[in-house]
């Protein structure tokens, strides 16, 4: 049973008890009863009903106390779980190996043949091949040949520039025999004992137009006839003249130019191939182009 109804019932019972006591007090008191035979039961009942009705009216008029709502507990905050941001893995770029570099560079190296002899050359620009002046001699035409297994090419090129002092010549083959140009490196950044690679077509008149690769180190930096040269102990033979001397990045650091032999010294020598430095190439290339 709700608390409000229980409280009203208790109060009604208390009122009823009080009324009963009052009625009996009135009925049995010293007051002089009214004339005639008294009907005590009817009188008491009427009085009780009257008093009970009055008290019930009073109780009904009294407002019931407003129940105080129970406080709603505040919701517990949901803990926020912060997921750690994964650190991205660095992208690994593999460093090209020397064989990878060589397989790319050989596409830009060719054999050169004239009545003066045979040698090598390499592309320095679109349709332009650099070689040695002594390879082309006094001739205005040169045969450009490549034999790499499935690739066999032979075209005629025009000699468009000669620098006798630097022993350089520029041959144009036009767009029909185009290959990527080799990039130029830096002479000052080439240190002694740095690994270098020689690519060319030595002894092609005997062994054919197959490309040849040898490896050595930068043995010395020399000045000869007012020009700077890199000396290398990489094997170089007749026919390597005009071929590139590369660093391990595949950049040109020189052009194979001469080799000190017994004829010059009167003694047997080894590891004395000289390459005109890349700085000497770059300073003379505009004049060879006719610029």
* Catalytic-role residue among 108, 120, 204, 241: 241
Q: Catalytic site residue 167?
A: yes
In this predicted model, what pLDDT tens digit does every residue of 7-17 receive, in sequence order?
555 665 665 56
Query: Is pLDDT of 149 > 90?
Result: no
| Alpha-carbon span 202 to 2, nearest angstrom | 117
Phi and psi for 99 in degrees, rounded to 5? -60, -40
* Catalytic-role residue among 167, 219, 251, 277: 167
pLDDT score for 164 = 96
Q: Which of 1-5, 86-90, 174-178 has the lowest mean pLDDT?
A: 1-5
Looking at the chain, the whole-number percentage of residues with pLDDT higher than 70 is 67
Domains of the chain: 101-289 (2.40.10.120)
| Alpha-carbon span 260 to 270, nearest angstrom | 8
| Alpha-carbon span 25 to 284, nearest angstrom | 146
Query: Is pLDDT of 25 > 70?
Result: no
Q: Catalytic site residue 100?
A: no
DSSP string of the chain, one letter each residue? --HHHHHHHHHHHHHHHHHHHHHHHHHHSSSPPPSS---HHHHHHHHHHHHHHHHHHHHHHSPPPPPPPPPPPPPPPPPP--PPPPPPPPPP-PPPPHHHHHHHHGGGEEEEEETTEEEEEEEEETTEEEE-HHHHTT-SEEEEEEEETTEEEEEEEEEEEEETTTTEEEEE--GGG--PPPPB--STTPPTT-EEEEEE-TTHHHH-SB-EEEEEEEEEEEEETTEEEEEE-S---TT-TT-EEE-TTS-EEEEEEEE--HHHHSS---S-EEEEEHHHHHHHHHHHHT-
Q: Measuring CA to CA, which residue among 37, 7, 44, 39 is closest to residue 23? A: 44
pLDDT score for 31 = 47
Q: Measuring CA to CA, which residue among 51, 42, 67, 64 is closest to residue 15? A: 51
pLDDT score for 86 = 74
pLDDT score for 267 = 67
Query: Is pLDDT of 2 > 90?
Result: no
Q: Catalytic site residue 241?
A: yes
Instruction: Kindly report the average pLDDT of the chain as a whole number.
Output: 82
* Catalytic-role residue among 134, 147, 172, 233: 134
pLDDT score for 94 = 72
252-279 average pLDDT score: 83
Query: Is pLDDT of 20 > 80?
Result: no
pLDDT score for 178 = 73
In this predicted model, what pLDDT tens digit does every residue of 202-217 receive, in sequence order?
998 888 788 999 999 9
In this predicted model, what pLDDT tens digit does every residue of 129-146 receive, in sequence order?
999 999 999 999 999 988
**What's the pLDDT band for 281 if we cut at 50, 70, 90?**
very high
pLDDT score for 177 = 77
In this predicted model, what pLDDT tens digit does every residue of 83-113 receive, in sequence order?
777 777 777 667 779 999 999 999 999 999 9
Query: Is pLDDT of 179 > 80?
Result: yes
In this predicted model, what pLDDT tens digit does every residue of 31-57 receive, in sequence order?
444 455 556 666 656 766 677 667 666
């Amino acid at each position: 049973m709700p608390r409000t109804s229980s409280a009203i019932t208790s109060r009604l019972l208390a009122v009823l008890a009080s009324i009963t006591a009052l009625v009996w007090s009135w009925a049995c008191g010293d007051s002089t009863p009214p004339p005639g035979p008294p009907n005590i039961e009817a009188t008491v009942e009427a009085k009780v009903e009257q008093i009970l009705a009055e008290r019930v009216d009073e109780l009904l008029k009294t407002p019931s106390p407003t129940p105080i709502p129970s406080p709603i507990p505040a919701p517990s905050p949901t803990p926020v779980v912060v997921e750690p941001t994964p650190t991205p893995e660095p992208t690994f770029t593999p460093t090209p190996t020397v064989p990878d570099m060589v397989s790319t560079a050989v596409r830009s190296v060719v054999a050169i043949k004239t009545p003066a002899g045979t040698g090598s050359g390499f592309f320095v620009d679109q349709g332009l091949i650099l070689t040695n002046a002594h390879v082309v001699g006094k001739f205005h035409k040169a045969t450009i040949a490549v034999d790499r297994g499935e690739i066999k090419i032979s075209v005629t090129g025009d000699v468009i520039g000669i620098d006798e002092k630097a022993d350089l010549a520029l041959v144009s083959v036009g767009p029909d025999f185009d290959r990527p140009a080799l990039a130029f490196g830096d002479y000052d950044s080439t240190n002694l004992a740095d690994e270098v690679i020689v690519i060319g077509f030595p002894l092609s008149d005997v062994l054919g137009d197959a490309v040849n690769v040898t490896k050595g180190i930068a043995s010395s930096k020399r000045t000869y006839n007012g020009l700077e040269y890199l000396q290398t102990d990489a094997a170089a033979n007749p026919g390597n003249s005009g071929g590139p001397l590369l660093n391990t990045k595949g950049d040109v650091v020189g052009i194979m130019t001469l080799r000190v032999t017994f004829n010059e010294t009167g003694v047997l020598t080894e590891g004395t191939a000289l390459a005109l430095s890349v700085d000497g190439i770059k300073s003379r290339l505009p004049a060879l182009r006719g610029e």
